[in-house]
Chains A and B, each alone.
Chain A
Amino acid sequence: MSALARPSIIGDALETAGAWLLALVWALPILYAFWTAFHPGEFATRFSLLAPWTLENFANAWNAAPFARYFLNTVVLVTMILAGQLVLCTLAAYAFARFTFVGHNVAFALVLVQLMIMPDVLIVENYRTMRLLGVLDTTLAMALPYMASAFGIFLLRQTFKTVPRELDEAARVEGCGPLQTLWKVYVPLAKPVYIAFGLVSVSYHWNNFLWPLIVTNSVSTRPLTVGLAVFSGSDQGIDWSIITAATFLSVAPLLVAFLLFQRQFVQSFMQAGIK
């Protein structure tokens, strides 16, 4: 946009400075966390270029909870949710985008209800349901309420609607059934949306805390965020060195993936044309 009319060098410079200032403010907590995680505890509150570097905080954090197991649990959980969401949301979005059926509008409105009433709000009732289903303390229990994502359905419906009808008519002429058409025409065209949605879903559920805490109670099912909770709510007060180290331990894969693929990440959002 800076290519626009009446480019003023001073104005541009000011704007750049403003942008950088804001970015600095935004990055500060993370830079602080990074600094603290790699330095001894006494440097958590003062900054010195001479402060020695250390990995001790990571060792302490790692020993305070079975992080390796939590990692595995989180990966399994996130994968399960995403897989469920991709299948369920694709089918439902296809129905809404290309089929006129009885109760179409009512059903769509009912789906949208979940955009407001997220499962996060309905913890007590959902716990009861999980108990009746006999799936307490399983990854499935953590995943189930999130699998049918209204956000995913809505997003994919919007995308499917933009697919030219000529394409699926062509597929029909070739003798494809509805599911085949979905698979051969709609899904490939919506790939960027899938990637964008997948990234959002993964980062959301990687960081989700309350529901997993309530519905699981063994080391073999609990995810990373619950492990992180050991470090807040402690009688001993806040040890920022260990908290920051533990934070990096638990979000490292997400952070690294984002930093490596951020271009694709943002790109996929743009191609998805979410607006």
Chain B
Amino acid sequence: MRSKGWGVLIAGPRAGARVTRSARNMAHLYGWLLLLPAAALLALFTHYPALGTIYHSFYSTPRANRPSVYVGLDNYQSMVEDPVFWQAVTNNLIFCIGTIPASIALALLMAVWVNGKIRGRGLLRTAFFTPTILPMIAVANIWMFFYTPDYGLIDQIRGLFGLPGFNWLGTRNTALWCLIVVTVWKEAGFFMIFYLAALQQIPPDLSEAAAIEGSSRWYFFRRVTFPLLMPTTLFVLVNAVINSFRMVDHVVVMTRGGPDNATSLLLFHIYEVGFKFWDVGYAAALTVVLLAVLALVALGQFFALDRRIHYR
């Protein structure tokens, strides 16, 4: 691929006036050729199935002797009337509120500590990050021991203070929070890495200058560090939101959605409807809701992030 002209076409607007029609065509061609392999796979395994889900949400579930038929909004009607759906939506919102700010705040705190000159920061970093690389299935099983009433770790510690055993996972009000804690524990270290990377980019002379001027660490953090970390925060936020709608392994292992749907998350409900009840039509309608939520939240945030980076 040797061509005298191709440098022009990647030179962008700067070379605008000199760009010939054929060079522009070449740019289109090159761009698309480079993109093609990835685009094909994305179309096949993301866009096509996403659209397929929407399509199937208007059709009934095929059974052995009842083929699938167009049912309009019936599946959506069932959804509105399904109390478990609303419970799952509520749970998912609580799950978001419980996991996202906590894991982001902890990640930032961890990153600031590990970035500083604290004693044994290598060990600290290892401790914070290791949960990230363990499989959720195994992690959830290990955490079940912590939550076990009476002789589980948490109750053993509570026992030292004379507190009675408590059925953490078997009580409506606490079960979801148990899952939230596991999630925060597993995610914070991952987000920490992103913050750490960003913190290392902040020139040290900034903080030295601030020190000379006598501004407090907190003031410096609030007025300088945190704003500089904003793109990272947005990026992490997007990931945290998506994860809170995508993760279901721990629900499967720890509570199976119980007690009485108190820990059923949206995707878990979809999994139950789709793979336990085999009601694919209804599962498709539920998935459409999930897709819509994800699309709205993440797209908006993502463009904000992209702009930030551009104008930095």
Contact = CB atoms under 8 A, between A and B. Distances in A.
Direct contact of A and B (CB under 8 A): yes
Contact of B35 (A107, A116, A203, A233): A107
Interface in A148-170: 148, 150, 153, 158, 165, 168-169
Given A144-B45, A177-B6, A258 B133 contact: yes
A259 B50 CA distance: 39
Interface in B33-91: 34-35, 37-42, 44-50, 52-53
Interface string A77-120: 00000000001110110111011111010010111111111111
Given A114-B46, A178-B1, A275 B194 contact: yes
Majority secondary structure, A binding face:
helix
Given A95-B32, A99-B31, A129-B49, A1 B253 contact: no
Given A26-B185, A243-B138, A266-B193, 6 more contacts: A5-B210, A26-B127, A89-B38, A100-B27, A107-B39, A207-B135
A62 interface: no
B11 interface: yes
Interface stretch (B95-103, B109-117, B163-171, B172-180): B109-117
Interface of B: 1-3, 6-7, 9-12, 27-32, 34-35, 37-42, 44-50, 52-53, 106, 109-110, 112-113, 115-120, 122-146, 151-153, 185, 188-189, 193-194, 196-198, 200-201, 207-208, 210-211, 213-217, 220-221, 229, 231-232, 235, 238, 242, 246, 248-249, 253, 267, 274, 280, 283, 287, 290-291, 294-295, 297-299, 302, 309
Contact of A91 (B34, B138, B145): B34
Nearest to B182: A29
B126 A259 contact: yes
Nearest to A118: B246
A172 B7 contact: yes
B208 to A, nearest CB: 8
Given A5-B217, A32-B153, A243-B138, A177 B1 contact: yes
Given A101-B31, A247-B138, A172 B47 contact: no
A115 B242 contact: yes
B179 to A, nearest CB: 14
Interface string A111-151: 11111111111111110110000000000000011011010
A111 B47 contact: no
Contact of A26 (B128, B142, B298): B128
Contacts of A4: 207, 210-211, 216-217, 220
Contact of B141 (A92, A101, A240, A273): A240
Q: How large is the interface on A (under 10, 10 to 19, 20 to 34, 35 or more residues)?
A: 35 or more
A117 B34 contact: no
Contacts of B115: 1
B142 to A, nearest CB: 5
B249 A210 contact: yes
Nearest to A274: B197
B10 to A, nearest CB: 5
Contacts of B7: 168-169, 172
B116 A122 contact: no
A6 B210 CA distance: 11
